[in-house]
Amino acid sequence: MKTTFLSVTRTYQHDYRKNKSFIHFLFLCKPVEHEWLVEPENQTVTQGSTVSITCDVTNLGEDDVMVWTSRNPDMTLFFNQHKIDGAPGHYSVESRDNGYTLVISGAQVRDSGDFECDVRGWQARSMTLLVVGKSTLIDTI
């Protein structure tokens, strides 16, 4: 859950003793609930494939931050579209209207593991990616 500003009330006040004017703001706040529109799903792909992992939520505001994390090893990858130092070079994030999609180009077996998307600590969602090596058919005579 996050808090957003519902309305702003402005009042004007003048201090005649100091000849200064003040504007006071009163912020009325209400909690905003998110609901998952698209949750990440477990995937099994062949090595070299492009993987798309999508997380979309309602009420995703400008102040919300979606964090992408890899759990094997435990590493934060992205804040929204901002890549964190150490994140693999073949990982990227695409912005959507209500969320973000983590894209793994040319997936490798070492990319297998658990991934998590989280909106500022609100009900994180996770998925498991399994990348299998390309099999080779051996003809027998």
Please count the residues of the chain.
141
- Predicted confidence (pLDDT) at residue 80 exceeds the cutoff of 50: yes
Q: Where in the chain is the domain with CATH 2.60.40.10?
A: 36-132
To the question of pTM greater than 0.85 for the whole model, the response is: no
- Predicted confidence (pLDDT) at residue 117 exceeds the cutoff of 50: yes
pLDDT at site 18: 52
State the CATH architecture for 36-132: Sandwich (2.60)
Lowest mean pLDDT among 17-31, 50-64, 99-113, 127-141: 17-31
Specify the higher pLDDT residue, 84 or 34.
Answer: 84
CA distances from 44 to 11, 38, 109 (A): 59, 18, 11
d(CA 87, CA 92): 9
- Predicted confidence (pLDDT) at residue 102 exceeds the cutoff of 50: yes
Q: In terms of Cα–Cα distance, which of 22, 119, 29, 11 is closest to 65?
A: 119
